[in-house]
Structure 1
Amino acid sequence: MAGSALLAVAFDFGTTYSGYAFSFRSDPLKVQTNQGWIAGSDQLISLKTPTCVLLSPNGQFDSFGFEAENKFATLAEDNKHHGWFLFRRFKMILHSNEELSRSTTVEDINGKSMPALSIFTMSIKYLKKHFTEALNKQKTGIVDKDIQYVITVPAIWNDSAKQFMREAAEKAGIEKARLKLSYEPEAASIWCQTISTDVQETWSKAGRQYMVIDLGGGTADISVHEKQIDNTLKELYKASGGPWGGTVIDDNYLEFLTNIFGKKTVLRFKEEQMEDYFQLLREFEIKKRSIKPESNEKITFRLSASIKELYQKENILSLEDKIARLGLSDNVTFTGDKLRVEASVIKKLFESPIRSIIEHVQQILAKPNMQKVKMILLVGGFGECKLAQDLIQKEIQYQKIIIPEEAGLVVLKGAVRFGHFQDIVRSRIMAHTYGLAVCKVFVEQKHINAKVRIVDGKKNADNIFDMIIRAGEEVNIRKEISKSYVPTHPDKTSLNVYCAETMDPIYTTDIGCKLLGTVRVAHANGRSKEDNRLKVSFIFGDTELFVKAVNMRTKEEFSSYMDCL
């Protein structure tokens, strides 16, 4: 099962934070992470850095992560930031975006737009450069062709989003043949086969079924797996989830502050006191993970004096009177540069995303084929949040919930192991129905709503969805499913590949059907269409869909990953 690369490196490109890890083939479980992302003046050391890109006024890459945030804040302090671009938390542009294309744009912190593909490419290029420099310091003698690259992606992403990430990585200088995408909850599951827990014996047992909940910054990503006798993993339920990550709570906190200080003050604070604004967000990130469920005392947040000064310039009403008017006098107080808030108020900020996660998990576990699932693995940066852990443990009964050490790094480490052992996942459950657009002989009673097309003088029903595989079906990795087709044209054929959200679409024009891409086949050899019959094969189960067509007479092959953009 082991790959041939001497080293595997994984980039965890997150909504909030990004990082990388790697290990050598000689010792694949000895995973090294970067230990030195420095946040700034307070010298906070982090194992990941913010997913944040700074561009100069001419649109050129300047910096990434903490460095980008800190430089932009310094420029803003000196009123020199005008014309610069700061992009933060832009990964969510790929989530459930049916209009995603290579020309999709993303807005920076001040609403200025740039091509999203360029911003993603710059980010991956920076992470690759940072990793290369770290590797060179070890003087290993390993060169780029010896490296297997892995990029983590949410399992709930559609085909377009996955292709977008792949193209950004290739533009960043990663060779196509040495690049794999790894599903985030799957990577967590892979790594947790290696860790020691109090249930290690049952965890490793063949036939064990368990759920993985990956709580990231942007999304909650949920998968269900079964351990196989040969130590591979089988997916039992299609990947699912939603936009219920930690950034929802960040937004709720900013909304809470906006209710107190007002939109105008918060906007000015963000624009004029950028360093203090970033510090506010960083502090909340730490508090968010550490607030204890049993806490009933007030929680203290350090607030810059500048936001109070800005409020006083904008408002006649004192802050104390404003808080009283909001009915928060018993819950919120200011003492110097400290904002003290009752724990119950802060806990309410967590309710909506966690409630969505719990309800979704309960719906999955209630399904008849999920009755043997008795363990849940909780991972991800937001998975480190004590409040999230407590609520999930209380609400999801009859399950043993396991939270591994450094839950925020489990996905990254698992993706490294996946880079070495790419066959460790045996099968997946199809999230969509896939098929081809075809013409069939028109049958009046059957093709009531069909578009009629005349082919060789005969009536044909057009845009028929000819199913290859149905949503919910299990498919082995790299399984090939083939069908035979007569070409539609004497010289060439365009095979339009569709996916659908429903299990049994009739026409490719049905609601929920989407054109994924086209495979173009040439057969200009003077033969009849029947003589040029095509064998069309779909290779499923990998993180990306591959389609090939073979002329059954000449054996000439045409193939393509679907161009979903």
Structure 2
Amino acid sequence: MTDSHLLAVAFDFGTTYSGYAFSFRDNPLKIQTNQGWIAGSDQLISLKTPTCVLLNSKKEFDSFGFEAENKFASLAEDGQHHSWLLFRRFKMLLHSNETLSRTTTVEDINGKSMPAMTIFAMSIGYLKRHFLEALNKQKIGIEDSDIKYVLTVPAIWNDNAKQFMREAAEQAGIETKRLKLSFEPEAASIWCQTITTKAKESLSKSGNQYMIIDLGGGTADISVHEKQIDNTLKELHKASGGPWGGTVVDDNYLQWLKQIFGSATMQKFQEEQMEDYFQLHREFEIKKRSITPDSNGKITVRLSASLRELYQKNEKVQLDDKIASLGLKGMVTFTGDKLRVDASVIKGWFEAPINSVITHVQRVLKEPNMQRVDTILIVGGFGECKLAQDQIQKAIRNKCIIIPEGAGLAVLKGAVRYGHSPDIISSRIMPHTYGFSVLETFDEQTHYDATITFLDGEKYAEDVFSTIIRAGEGVTLGKIISKGPYTPTCQDNTTFNVYCTEKVDPKYTTDPGCKHLGRLRVSHSNGRCCKDNKLNASFIFGDTELLVKAVNLRTGEEFETYIDCL
């Protein structure tokens, strides 16, 4: 990456909400965010907008965010929405998806499919256009080539998901050489180094070790860093976490409503009262943030009268009788358009994701090399939830737990800072062991359990895992590991099959847990024979993505390439 950019902009493409922020190179810490998307008639103003895409009847992009939800609801009111497509909360499609490819599809809220790459590209393209319009209002004459783009991704994502996001950004018109991917907990860690609060005091001394828990909409993403003497950050533990974000609470709420009103009624409610359906989500989003450890008695959630009317039309059992049959008598009541629910019921919807986070964090902190970690930062949208904060603080008592001001925007602002100084993360821990599948001359003692093949009368062991780098190994930014020489089997190009596993010392690429990551294809000049095109392959580690260079040993020609994981 060159430093010729005038400004850096970060797109926080979230499961639930998306937004952007930017700053100019001459004042990188003066970070500007969009001043607010307006939800609609209730004038809810947010610094992020729902990750939601609306396509028209010709499957062309129409709108994004609150605007998309409101327009689709309006179309539904007039019965004109049937040929339109609305995609919501589709980012989790990329989480732990081993079969992810360029042809993977995603379904809209009514089950209609579109290529996922198209929907992601449309979303990123919208954020880019919105940003450029905002930028041009305050500064003219800035070219696209003056901008460095940063796209946030969970650190726990696989290589194929990261490549998917990069290619979607390219389709959205972002030049790949001006794009960086930023790991979300790393970005939060970077931002917390700059803010003048208790967090900075705890993190600013060299040698200090701390954990970042990024609780987002879809995932909980956990990293551990050590502040270095040169002010860079060293990763101490491979990124970890799971699908334990705030949307789990939303899903639990919807499942609970289905128990009361029935799945058929909830489906009709979504189809026939679209505006009320979206309002139900927005209402709960606001209510969710207000639940605290001290919340008791009954909590009021507004619920459209249309939902009760649909229930009375479609169900034979009276609503009060249904509530009693579920053991909720006295805990749930209805008054007009108000649903009154006992706080203990609502708190129950939070238990699963919060308990999963706590169990995982405790397991990581018990590891021998984590004993000096004395501070925990909680950031992210779900990280602002008082209930989550309280439960984590009660469960992990021997650590200093800090929730920085503006925890929900820490990732976004840190990603902007990372765009200006990508070398601020000086080393990372490898999450996997990477290697090639190779043939090895058969050795009776080593390859007693191998699949055997013969070439030119010689005996070889197949599928041997030739390790490039091991899981758990720390790598500095730009660390180069060269392998070779390799003799091509074809004059025009060489294709290597790359594998990865969480095992430290895999023996074969067919071992359990070992997966085919992708293909590394290198084109090369023609020689008289394959031996003329012997190659060395150099893997460049330490960045958020794996880079590869190959050198033709005869010509000195250098090829920069990437592993195709899709």
Q: Of 517, 520, 527, which aligns to 2:519?
A: 517
Tell me which residue corresponds to 1:297.
297
Tell me which residue corresponds to 1:500.
501
Q: How far did 1:510 drift?
A: 2.0
User: Which sits farther off after the overlay, 121-130 or 442-451?
Assistant: 442-451
Aligned-partner SS, 2:462: strand
Q: 1:199 to 1:280 in 2, by over 3 A?
A: closer
Aligned-partner SS, 1:350: helix
Q: How far did 1:41 drift?
A: 0.8
Q: How far did 1:557 drift?
A: 2.1
Tell me which residue corresponds to 1:261.
261
Tell me which residue corresponds to 1:389.
389
Tell me which residue corresponds to 1:405.
405
Q: 2:126 & 2:266 partners in 1: Cα distance?
A: 32
CA-to-aligned-CA distance 1:311-330 (integer Å, 9 cap, x gap):
11112222111111211112
Say whether 1:33 aligns with 2:50. no
Say whether 1:162 aligns with 2:162. yes
Q: How far did 1:532 drift?
A: 4.8
Tell me which residue corresponds to 1:322.
322
Which letter maps to 1:495? F
Do the aligned residues in 2 keep the contact of 1:3 with 1:422 (CA within 8 Å)?
Answer: no
Q: How far did 1:503 drift?
A: 1.5
Q: How far did 1:135 drift?
A: 0.2
CA-to-aligned-CA distance 1:170-195 (integer Å, 9 cap, x gap):
00000111000000000000000011
CA-to-aligned-CA distance 1:373-397 (integer Å, 9 cap, x gap):
0101100000011111110111112
Do the aligned residues in 1 keep the contact of 2:488 with 2:530 (CA within 8 Å)?
Answer: no
After superposition, the CA RMSD in angstroms is 1.5
Q: How far did 1:256 drift?
A: 1.0
State how many pairs are aligned.
564
Aligned-partner SS, 2:373: coil
Do the aligned residues in 1 keep the contact of 2:526 with 2:533 (CA within 8 Å)?
Answer: no
Aligned-partner SS, 2:422: coil
Tell me which residue corresponds to 1:202.
202
Q: How far did 1:490 drift?
A: 6.8
Aligned-partner SS, 1:504: coil
Q: 1:263 & 1:551 partners in 2: Cα distance?
A: 62
Which letter maps to 2:279? Q
Q: 1:532 & 1:199 partners in 2: Cα distance?
A: 55
Which letter maps to 2:503? T
Q: 1:386 & 1:553 partners in 2: Cα distance?
A: 63
Stretches of structure 1 lacking an aligned partner (at least 5 in a row): none
Q: 1:528 & 1:231 partners in 2: Cα distance?
A: 48
Do the aligned residues in 2 keep the contact of 1:519 with 1:559 (CA within 8 Å)?
Answer: no
Do the aligned residues in 1 keep the contact of 2:94 with 2:100 (CA within 8 Å)?
Answer: yes
Do the aligned residues in 2 keep the contact of 1:292 with 1:386 (CA within 8 Å)?
Answer: yes
Aligned-partner SS, 1:349: helix
Q: Percent identity?
A: 70
Q: 1:8 & 1:490 partners in 2: Cα distance?
A: 43
Q: 1:295 & 1:209 partners in 2: Cα distance?
A: 34
Say whether 1:438 aligns with 2:438. yes
Tell me which residue corresponds to 2:47.
47
Structure 1 length-normalised TM: 0.97
Tell me which residue corresponds to 1:548.
549
Q: How far did 1:356 drift?
A: 0.3
Aligned-partner SS, 2:92: helix
- Superposed counterparts of 1:150-549, under 5 Å: 150-198=150-198, 200-489=200-489, 491=491, 492-515=493-516, 516-522=518-524, 524-526=526-528, 529=531, 532-549=533-550
Q: 1:249 & 1:115 partners in 2: Cα distance?
A: 28
Q: 1:199 to 1:550 in 2, by over 3 A?
A: closer
Q: 2:257 & 2:490 partners in 1: Cα distance?
A: 67
Do the aligned residues in 2 keep the contact of 1:2 with 1:420 (CA within 8 Å)?
Answer: no
Q: 1:291 & 1:83 partners in 2: Cα distance?
A: 39
Which letter maps to 2:381? G
Q: 1:407 to 1:199 in 2, by over 3 A?
A: closer
Which letter maps to 1:69? E
Do the aligned residues in 2 keep the contact of 1:11 with 1:412 (CA within 8 Å)?
Answer: yes
Q: How far did 1:507 drift?
A: 1.4
Which letter maps to 1:110? N
Q: How far did 1:83 drift?
A: 1.0
Which letter maps to 2:159? D
Q: 1:426 & 1:455 partners in 2: Cα distance?
A: 45
Structure 2 length-normalised TM: 0.97
Do the aligned residues in 1 keep the contact of 2:480 with 2:541 (CA within 8 Å)?
Answer: yes
Tell me which residue corresponds to 2:559.
558
Q: 1:196 & 1:343 partners in 2: Cα distance?
A: 36
Q: 2:282 & 2:57 partners in 1: Cα distance?
A: 26
User: Which sits farther off after the overlay, 189-198 or 555-564?
Assistant: 555-564
Displaced runs of 4+ in structure 1, greater than 6 A? none
Which letter maps to 1:301? V
Aligned-partner SS, 2:284: helix
